[in-house]
Amino acid sequence: MDVTTCLKSMLLAIRQYKNNRSAVNTSQLQKQINDLTGLKCSRLLAAGQVLPSECLSGLLEVAIDPKTNHALTSTIVSLLANLATSDEETREALHSSFNLTGALASIVHSNRATPEGPLVMQCLQVLQRFTYSMRISHCASYLDDLLTFLMQNIKSRNDDIIKPCLGLMANLCRHNLSVQTHIKSQSNVKALYRSLIDFLAHNSLTVVIYTLSILTSLTLNEEEGQKLFNAENIHQTFPLIFNITVNGDGSLTRNYAVDLLVDLVKNPKIADYLVNYKLLPPCLTEVFGLLHSKDSETAAKVLELLVSLCSVPGLRKLLCETMFRSFKPRRQPAGKKGGQARVSEPCVALLQWATGPLHDPERCSLQALNLLTELFEEVIDAGTTASVQSHLELLLPALVGLLQVPDSTEEEQQLKRHCVRVGRVVELLLVLCVDDHLKSLVAQQIPSKLCTSQVELLLSNSHGSSSPITDSDLSQVCAEAVLKMLELMSHLKQHVQDMETCFYQILQDQRMVTPLSLAMTSQRRELVQSALRVLFEAAPLPDFPSVILGESIAANNAYREAQRESGRSVKRMAVQESLPTGKACAVSNGPGCKVTTTAKQTIDSLIEKLQSGLEDPMKDVHMSEVIDVYEQKISALASKESRLEDLLEAKALALAQADRLLAQYRCQRAQAEAEARKLAGLLQESERGKEALQRQLGEQVLEVQRVKQDIQQLLEHNGRLQAVSDEHQALKGSYNQLLSRYNETERHLKELRGAHVALTQMVESLKKTYDTLRLKQERTLAEVAEKDKLIKSQQADLKAKEKAISDLQGELKKQQEQANEMEESISILRKELNKTEQARKDASIKASSLELQKSQLEDKMNKKEEELNKNMHMIAMIHSLSGGKIKTDTANVSL
């Protein structure tokens, strides 16, 4: 039986159970759930299909109903637990779309009177696994009741309920400030702290780790946390965490131990304690040994721990030494050929995880590449690149293999994983290119054809999403990978044959508009900077589509602004349209109505903008470039319209399915016949499945035989590789000689280039000096001419003032003669003084007035003399400033 048939049968059983909760319908529904549990349902909810959504919604309604039989509820919870662990997309859909956490919390709340019952225990265990590394919003209505239940049952003496309660509380508290604040605001929080501290002496290491996780989230940055994680206690906590991480008390407990250590080292004080921890090197050696495990979940957590430790100052160097030096290279006896250093075992394991297949959890591959990037950054910073030569000989071919174009790129999810890993690989190669010697090794391994094919794949998958209408995750990932690959080509363009030509050809490709526009309008700083570096290389090129790039960036910005405006308008229209469209939305799965309305409004607005853009006159723009821009936009609109049509078809299918279900309810006899036919079909399907399994068994036997033959061929190939390795050593010696001669020639060339640059700079400086002196001479001549004019004007003023002085002297002589005459008249008047007193008084008044005038004239003469002195001083200063360049007959002034 396929999944679709099973889902249809389950939906029918759910309808029958809701109408009549009889034992027959209950057993039928349980049977359908068990059948679906036995099938492989990976990515069941990823495609957004209506049938699985209706089935899960119906199951959740049945499960949260308090009247439902506990056995049926337990079966539903088991099915949900299997779906939650099948893949990440289904897990995210259960959390965001179906609110699985709220449903399980509702079941726990309904059965809170029997906390040790099997159903409550099952729900708590599923909740613990489902909420691990999943952020739960505190605004959810069920969270307060769930936290109250957990705080009450932590004090229980039954270890079976203590463990899931502690683990679930640790999940809810980690990185969730609102939940932490809610717990701290409770009146019994001190009693909770005392209970948690008592659990630190528990005989179960799992309980101790859960307790430490809760205490770390609640008290790490507070006074209680400072007392709890002091120097004495923390040195007892480190061995416990490393012991559980290495030896393990179950994979889930190891995950909590790793998360606890990651959270602790974020505190600077505890990070210093860890750096000074004496037993840290052997502990790290044992942690690196876990990379040899075949369990991808264990390897992922170990890699996450190592990457987080790289961010602690002082630990990255220790990790680097542990990785490359703690396992000392072994050498073969001198009599045997190929006596080369054996690469350290952790590096081999790390490389295996980094180069794992894409269908494995990509988190291991990406974390391994991140760790390699961090470690090689430390190697380059420390200047110890010679010590990792043997590791690079193994690493670089593997990285080149990861850059190969995959055989099949039809599945979008598979292509997205490939693009993300290519981006991480290129980041590692860019780190290696920082060192000149390592850059030469990278250049020897990466041909230009490989980079070109990889960029072609990325551009071909991002070009379809070039318009802002389809800003998909795949388009973003492809854009990031393209920019990183171009940066790598820019580093290697002078070291790899034909790399420079391919690099500039790609930059002039019109498809580069998509990644550049997406990166330039991104909110991530490093992506914008990467786009700017590529744009700096591409802008001077003659055929670079700068106009199309500008149009695309403007379209992206306009689309995002339209999205924000449409989001606000949808929120305003939701209340107005709720009454007339409530029934229609209920039939066709409410959120789809809003999405369709919003998409239609967005498309109409974009069509209007396109029409207005076509009507505007455009000057100095090639019509071909304009047509390409609008062709991209039209193709994106067409793809959006096709998706909307698919959504409408899905809604129509849902309505048709609802009509068929109503018809089945009206015709009980036809329903019984349909069930009989379905049972016969199930029997046939089981027979076909049995035959298929038998064929698969035969194929597996043949596969085992082929694997044995492949192993034998690999052993023979290993011998041939050993011989090739000997030849490689001989070639390496000759290569080193040629390399030394090349380096000497290149050094001589650099010296000649330096001398040429120095002479060129000297000529330029002399030219600049000559221009400066010429300008200075022109300014000096202009100033001399101005000074000449000023001196002439001063001389004219001086002559006028001398004439005025002579006039004043003549007047002074006249006044003196008048004074003499007045004295004579005074003497005459004195003789006649006795004649009349009144005449004497008048004469004395006239004499006093004349004396006052005399004093005023003397003051005027003094002022005129001072002004004359000032003018003479100014003439002398002007003469000294002119520097003797003024003619003698003009400069000399007679005083």
User: Is residue 496 domain-shared with residue 599, that is, in the same domain?
Assistant: no
Percent of the chain with pLDDT over 70: 82
Tell me, yes or no, whether 260 lies in a domain. Answer: no
Task: Say which residue the tokens 């998509």 belong to.
Answer: 514
What is residue 463's predicted lDDT score, i.e. its pLDDT? 56
pLDDT over threshold 50, residue 480: yes
Q: How many Å from the N-terminal Cα to the C-terminal Cα in the chain? A: 129
Region of 338 on the Ramachandran plot (φ > 0 left; ψ -120 to 50 alpha; else beta): left
Domain boundary among the residues 28, 63, 98 is at 98
User: Is residue 788 domain-shared with residue 885, that is, in the same domain?
Assistant: yes
Q: Average pLDDT in the 4-23 region?
A: 87
Domain boundary among the residues 666, 695, 724 is at 666
User: Is residue 536 domain-shared with residue 634, that is, in the same domain?
Assistant: no
pLDDT category, 1, cuts 50, 70, 90? Answer: low
Q: Residue 628: how many CB atoms within 10 A of its CB?
A: 19
What is residue 170's predicted lDDT score, i.e. its pLDDT? 93
Tell me, yes or no, whether 152 lies in a domain. Answer: no
pLDDT averaged over every residue in the chain: 80
Tell me, yes or no, whether 125 lies in a domain. Answer: no
Tell me, yes or no, whether 823 lies in a domain. Answer: yes
Comparison of pLDDT for 49 and 98, the residue scoring more: 98
Domain boundary among the residues 516, 544, 572 is at 544
What is residue 127's predicted lDDT score, i.e. its pLDDT? 92
pLDDT category, 171, cuts 50, 70, 90? Answer: very high
CA distances from 644 to 395, 410, 530, 641, 655 (A): 46, 22, 35, 5, 17
Indicate the SS3 state at residue 263: helix
User: Is residue 408 domain-shared with residue 509, that is, in the same domain?
Assistant: yes
pLDDT category, 844, cuts 50, 70, 90? Answer: confident
Q: At CB < 8 A and 24+ separation, what contacts does 859-862 make? A: 860/808, 861/808, 861/812
Beta-carbon contacts of residue 427 (< 8 Å; ≥ 6 apart): 369, 373, 484
Comparison of pLDDT for 215 and 337, the residue scoring more: 215
Beta-carbon contacts of residue 516 (< 8 Å; ≥ 6 apart): 479, 483, 531, 534, 535, 549, 552
Tell me, yes or no, whether 113 lies in a domain. Answer: no
Tell me, yes or no, whether 204 lies in a domain. Answer: no
Q: Tokens standing for 196?
A: 């948690």
pLDDT in tens, 225-269: 888 888 888 888 898 899 888 887 677 888 999 999 999 999 889
Task: In whole angstroms, give the CA distance from residue 625 to residue 237.
Answer: 65
What is residue 48's predicted lDDT score, i.e. its pLDDT? 60
Q: Average pLDDT in the 458-473 region?
A: 58
CB 126 within 8 A of CB 138: no
pLDDT category, 869, cuts 50, 70, 90? Answer: confident
Q: Tokens standing for 491?
A: 């580093």
Count of structural domains, the chain? 5
pLDDT in tens, 531-556: 898 888 888 888 888 888 888 888 88
pLDDT category, 215, cuts 50, 70, 90? Answer: very high
pLDDT in tens, 764-777: 888 898 888 889 88
User: Is residue 895 domain-shared with residue 794, that is, in the same domain?
Assistant: yes
Of 79-88, 232-241, 440-449, 465-474, the poorest mean pLDDT is in 465-474
* pTM reported for the whole predicted model: 0.61
Tell me, yes or no, whether 699 lies in a domain. Answer: no
CB 528 within 8 A of CB 522: yes
What is residue 736's predicted lDDT score, i.e. its pLDDT? 87
User: Is residue 659 domain-shared with residue 581, that is, in the same domain?
Assistant: yes
Q: Average pLDDT in the 444-466 region?
A: 80
Comparison of pLDDT for 698 and 578, the residue scoring more: 698
Q: Average pLDDT in the 3-11 region?
A: 84
What is residue 838's predicted lDDT score, i.e. its pLDDT? 72
User: Is residue 431 domain-shared with residue 520, that is, in the same domain?
Assistant: yes
User: Is residue 827 domain-shared with residue 848, that is, in the same domain?
Assistant: yes
pLDDT over threshold 50, residue 684: yes
pLDDT over threshold 90, residue 872: no
Indicate the SS3 state at residue 488: helix
- Expressed as residue numbers, the domain containing 289 is 279-328+344-390
What is residue 339's predicted lDDT score, i.e. its pLDDT? 37
pLDDT in tens, 610-642: 445 544 444 344 556 667 667 777 877 777 777
pLDDT in tens, 638-664: 777 776 777 777 777 777 666 666 666
pLDDT over threshold 60, residue 797: yes
* Residue 85, φ and ψ in degrees, nearest 5: -100, 0
What is residue 596's predicted lDDT score, i.e. its pLDDT? 38
Q: Average pLDDT in the 336-363 region?
A: 65
What is residue 126's predicted lDDT score, i.e. its pLDDT? 92
Q: Average pLDDT in the 411-429 region?
A: 86
Task: In whole angstroms, give the CA distance from residue 16 to residue 422.
Answer: 51
Region of 324 on the Ramachandran plot (φ > 0 left; ψ -120 to 50 alpha; else beta): alpha
Percent of the chain with pLDDT over 90: 8
User: Is residue 580 domain-shared with residue 649, that is, in the same domain?
Assistant: yes
Of 635-644, 735-744, 777-786, the poorest mean pLDDT is in 635-644
What is residue 697's predicted lDDT score, i.e. its pLDDT? 86
User: Is residue 589 domain-shared with residue 638, that is, in the same domain?
Assistant: yes
Comparison of pLDDT for 850 and 645, the residue scoring more: 850
Amino acid making up residue 630: Y
pLDDT over threshold 60, residue 389: yes
User: Is residue 484 domain-shared with residue 380, that is, in the same domain?
Assistant: no
Tell me, yes or no, whether 133 lies in a domain. Answer: no
User: Is residue 537 domain-shared with residue 598, that is, in the same domain?
Assistant: no
pLDDT category, 298, cuts 50, 70, 90? Answer: confident
